[in-house]
Structure 1
Amino acid sequence: MNAIKLILMFVAAMVVQINAHAGNISLRVAYSDGRQGTSFTPVHAELGEFALTPSMADGGQTEKWRVVAKNAQGAVIHEVLVRNAQQRHIEAFDPKTGAIEVSQQVRQADGVFEVSLPFDARIASIEILQQSTAATGDTRMTPVPPQQTVFDRATLEKMLRSSQLARMQAPPPAATVTTIVNNGPANARMDLVFVGDGYTAAEMDKWRTDAQKVIDGFLADPLFAANRASMNVHRVDVASNQSGADEPDRGIYRDTAMDGSFYCYNIDRLLCVNSTKVYNIVGSVLAPDQRDVIVVVSNSTRYGGSGGEIATLSMNNQSVEIALHEIGHTAFALADEYDYGTCSLSAEPTSGDVSLNGTRNVKWGRLIASTTAVPTGLGQYPNGTVGTFQGAQYCKTGKYRPTENSRMRTLGYPWHAVNEGLARAVFASYGQPSGGPVTQTGSLTNGATANAPSASPGYIQAGSGTFSIQLSGPAGTDFDLYLYKYSGSAWTKVASSEGSASTEAINYAGTAGYYYVQVKSYSGSGNYSVTYLFPPQ
């Protein structure tokens, strides 16, 4: 049987598979500036049972793209908010003190991003809309531009077939992958990928040694060490034609696999790569949900790195600290807690570690001890004490952070309780890929209350949908059930169940935001069990 006949049979089989499949589609989309705004083009697609892209919280000051899957009648079946990759915040730190030196917003004219959505028989199209944030803090969704944002099912199926055909016809990938830490299936773990740039074929042994040094540095961090069981770690090997990285300010240029370059945006410590090449290389050996966090390691000892959709670092001894800070943004949606940069007070930040609220009603307020003053003065308590410290997310006044100094403010400091709790919630979300219910048990004395989740930070960032909560308590008692949402200035009760016994239930249709559950003993004492299922973000 000749090769052409084999390919035709493969394409026919793919048509049947796509039409019958009820899985998810992973799209790699190229974006670029055009005369009418940003244009989007699908460049690669895969079909499988991998995890869906988690949605960012709505609102705040971060510009986003809304990606929606619609049926033939135009109804939205699924939607996800992803970061607008063209709006990039760049930062550089002092290698001696770890303090911020450069913080600014830049526009990236072109690149690629990836997103995974359902692709069952109901899906007729996928659209991309741009969210713009007005000065008053309100948000408006507009197509950008309308004629280039709608990908109908026929286009997507054609992309799936061409991507599969390209993989079938392509020579073996130049890259290879080695799994360093394997704790379970990719759709139930956070998968970290470390890929080397600027290592020649003759330097592959050096790359493997360097990679292990970087990976060991990550796993030695207390946060990652404590959550190691929730992660898989992969090393991707790919040879570059030349060794090192571009250093334009020094007249040095190297031909590397991912175009690693210092002096990005004229900032000497900013290390950038070609995102299209990174996704092509990593995607050739790892499935979409096996590359949750990608870190490119440059074969250079010059101090530098960057964050965003893809994190970068060099082999400078201090660069792992940069990468940990940047992954705080990329993986855990933490905000910068330093006060240097362009300040905006137009809306409550969506990140869980900064707020416009400096009172005890702040979203992390339940972690503030009654003996801690708010707002909290500098130098009055041991570092790590949770309070409301003024100065955060590029503002010297008007915004608050939970601790005096953390890794999201200055390199080399601990994460501290609020950030650790937010990170743990992200790790836990990978452990429950189906969005299954969570059960918490405990005991109450007469008149007492208990909150779920009980672990720091004491709340969950949820998406829009139905919030389902069930409570059961001992016979002869009266336990009640409440659901609270953070409104931007205080926690507000949005749903309750207050029957005369201790079997209660809430089914609440809510919007995206921060939530927690409260169980209260109206009368009696004893053990309780509360089970809650929140819509994924």
Structure 2
Amino acid sequence: MRTVFVLFCVLAAASSGALQQNDTFYDARFTRDTMRIDYFHTGGPDARETVSLDRVVNDGPWAGSRTQLVDPTGLGHYRFEARDTASGALLYTRGFSSVYGEWETTAERKTAYRTFHESLRLPWPRQPISILLEKRQGDGSFATVWSTEIDPTSRFVNRAPLAHPAARVWPVIESGAPAEKVDVLIIAEGYTAAEMPKFRRDVQRLLPSLFAEEPFKSRRSDFNVRALELPATESGVNRPNAGLFRRTPVSTEYNIFDSERYVLTLDNRALREAASAAPYEFIEILVNENTYGGGGIFNAQATASVDSAFSAYVFVHEFGHHFAALADEYYTSDVAYEIGAPPKVEPWEPNVTALHDPAHVKWADLVTPGTPVPTPWDKAAFEAHTRGIQERRRAIRARNAPEREMDALFREQMEWALTFLRSMKYSGRVGAFEGAAYEARGLYRPEADCLMFTRDPVGFCRVCRRAISRIIDLYAK
């Protein structure tokens, strides 16, 4: 959901071209295994951020590209790099966001300390490496928050892959070798052993919704998709606000940051241990619940409940966050984050802008000719209607009404919004429409409507589609 809106200064490494040409560099520097660096990320009221090493383990065969080793996208609230300790040569980089990074934007950060578990994954190096973890600052620059050196031959590094005697992985889409494809792992959460046939049906029902949208549709052959069956002792997941407390294999739960619809796992170690049963780069957790909910964090995780009327939408929307760092474009819904101050610098997310220079909006090459920037639309009427919807939504949750009432409200909202937004003069055009990323003023989205803005069946806008394509290229070439 939440990401921090600041400009990325693109990583420019002179050696990056050499790193992205062929397998020769890879084979000289890496084995075919995955190194997983687990660490604890702590912060609190004093604004001090602490990172401490947990362990370094073998996370199974490397599923990533062996040629696209340097991340050129400039995405993520954090980034890490691995360098050869002896020579200083750059070996691998990736940008990402995290649960900790989102927690920092909540009110709790001002009154309490919290620790979150996180992981860095990279090809297993043949020689000692230096790891640098950096965080994006408010002015767009990066600052180091942690560094460490790792000797892959050290007795403190566990080189044994984890056995998964009870895990069952089944292929859903097989398009080629993991190193040449985007590898997605779908994980069962809150399904008992007897419900695994339902999990399979849910995968087969929801996955086509992703590949019905461009550019996933036209690039389906660039993907491998596998499903992991993790039986739970009881059906469903933890729902604290509803008084339903459960323990599940990877501890996925509702009410993250006390938001009734936000679903994530905070048990990163359990998630990574389970996921290591299969080759993967991206994870979507299917939650066996009918209550609307989900979540998505760039290069971390995505979740979706499977039995609400809008499960297919949530599945795709949250994967957009996780896969391509797409920002939420909506701005009238309740969120747990502290908002109200649009950034002074340009957001790093590809689909929102602060529009400091309308003549050079960051997606200027996609702006439809003849479209004014900023682009007028009936913002006041949209906000007035949506405020009424949000009041009714809160009332439904307050009286713990059946989920069908929420589904009906969302259908009503969708039907109204679809008609309303299509009636805008510049509907269907790329411009810069004010209202995005939880902010009513000062942030702009590319089109009047998009899958990241409403639940309307309109697909991804052109800016989002391009952002997705660039990530596919990073893993499938």
| Common fold by TM > 0.5 | yes
1:71 corresponds to 2:85: yes
Q: Tell me: CA distance 1:143–1:75, structure 2 relative to 1, closer, same or farther (3 Å).
A: farther
SS of 1:400 mapped into structure 2: strand
Does structure 1 residue 431 correspond to structure 2 residue 431?
Answer: no
d(CA) in 1 for partners of 2:368, 2:233? 57
Give the AA of the match of 2:349: S
Aligned length: 383
Q: Cα offset for 1:237? A: 0.9
8 Å Cα contact 2:304-2:318 kept in structure 1: no
Between the two proteins, what is the percent identity of the paired residues? Answer: 23
Whole-Å separation in 2 of the counterparts to 1:44 and 1:363:
40
Give yes or no for contact 1:303–1:318 (8 Å, CA) kept in 2: yes
Secondary structure, aligned partner of 1:225: coil
Q: Give per-residue Cα distances to partners, 1:193-233, cap 9 Å, x unaligned.
A: 21111111122222222222222333333443222112111
In 1, Cα distance between equivalents of 2:39 and 2:261: 27
**Partners of 2:368 and 2:30 in 1: how far apart?**
53
Is 2:274 aligned against 1:281?
Answer: yes
1:246-285 alpha-carbon deviations (Å, 9 max, x no partner): 22223222232122322222222222223321221121x2
Greater shift after overlay, 214-223 or 404-413? 214-223
The structure where helix makes up a greater share of residues is 2
1:322 to 314, 324, 329: 314
How far apart, in 2, do the equivalents of 1:81 and 1:68 lie? 12
Q: Does 1:294 align with 2:283?
A: yes
Q: Given that residues 69 and 79 in structure 1 are in contact (C-alpha distance below 8 angstroms), is that contact kept between their aligned partners in structure 2? A: no
Q: Secondary structure at the match of 2:195?
A: helix
| Larger-Rg structure | 1
In 2, Cα distance between the equivalents of 1:86 and 1:177? 30
Q: Which residue of 2 aligns with 1:41?
A: 54
2:56–2:158 Cα contact (<8 Å) kept:
no
Residues 54-453 of structure 1 mapped to structure 2, 5 A cutoff? 55=71, 57-58=73-74, 63-72=77-86, 74=88, 76-88=90-102, 109-117=115-123, 119-121=125-127, 124-134=128-138, 137-144=139-146, 149-153=147-151, 158-161=156-159, 163-164=160-161, 167=162, 170=163, 172-273=164-265, 274-283=267-276, 285-287=277-279, 291-308=280-297, 309-315=300-306, 316-339=308-331, 341-357=339-355, 359-378=358-377, 380-412=424-456, 413-432=458-477
Post-superposition Cα deviations, 1:99-135, rounded to whole Å, max 9, x if no partner, equal xxxx9687662122232156244xx22323332514x
Distance 1:339 1:202, change over 3 A: closer
Whole-Å separation in 2 of the counterparts to 1:223 and 1:50: 22
Deviation at 1:177, TM superposition (A): 0.6
Relative to 1, partners in 2 of residues 1:175 and 1:353: Cα closer, same or farther, differing over 3 Å? same
Contact 1:258/1:277 (<8 A) preserved: yes
**Distance of aligned partners of 1:343 and 1:406 in 2 relative to their CA distance in 1, 3 Å threshold:** farther
Distance 1:303 1:150, change over 3 A: same
- The letter of the residue matching 1:109 is T
Whether the 8 Å CA contact 1:182–1:232 is kept in 2: the answer is yes
Q: CA deviation at 1:403?
A: 0.7
Tell me if the contact between 1:183 and 1:230 (Cα under 8 Å) persists in the aligned partners. yes
Label 1:79 to 1:314 Cα distance change in 2 as closer, same or farther (>3 A). Answer: closer
Query: Is the 8 Å Cα contact of residues 104 and 342 (structure 1) preserved in structure 2?
Result: no
**Amino acid of the structure 1 residue aligned with 2:134:** Q
Whether contact under 8 Å (2:33, 2:124) holds in the other structure is yes
By relative contact order (CA 8 Å, sep 6+), the higher-ranking structure is 2
Q: Which runs of 5+ in 2 are unaligned?
A: 1-26, 333-338, 379-423
Q: Distance in 2 between matches of 1:20 and 1:270?
A: 40
Distance between the aligned counterparts of 1:257 and 1:407, measured in 2? 30
1:311 deviates by 0.9
Instruction: Give the gaps of 5 or more residues in structure 1.
Output: 1-17, 91-102, 433-537
CA distance in 2, matches of 1:242, 1:177: 20
1:44/1:229 CA distance change after superposition, 3 Å: same
CA distance in 2 between partners of 1:387 and 1:431 (Å): 30
Look up the SS of the partner of 1:112 in the other structure: strand
CA distance in 2, matches of 1:65, 1:425: 18
Matches of 2:254 and 2:99, distance apart in 1: 20
Q: Match for 2:353: what amino acid?
A: S
Deviates more, 1:357-366 or 1:39-48: 39-48
* Larger strand percent: 1
Within 5 Å, give how 1:17-32 maps onto structure 2.
22=31, 25-32=34-41
| RMSD value, Cα | 3.1
Q: Give TM-score scaled by structure 2 length.
A: 0.71
**Aligned-residue offset at 1:191:** 1.7
8 Å contact from structure 2 (residues 255, 263) kept in 1: yes
> So what's the TM-score if we normalise by structure 1?
0.64
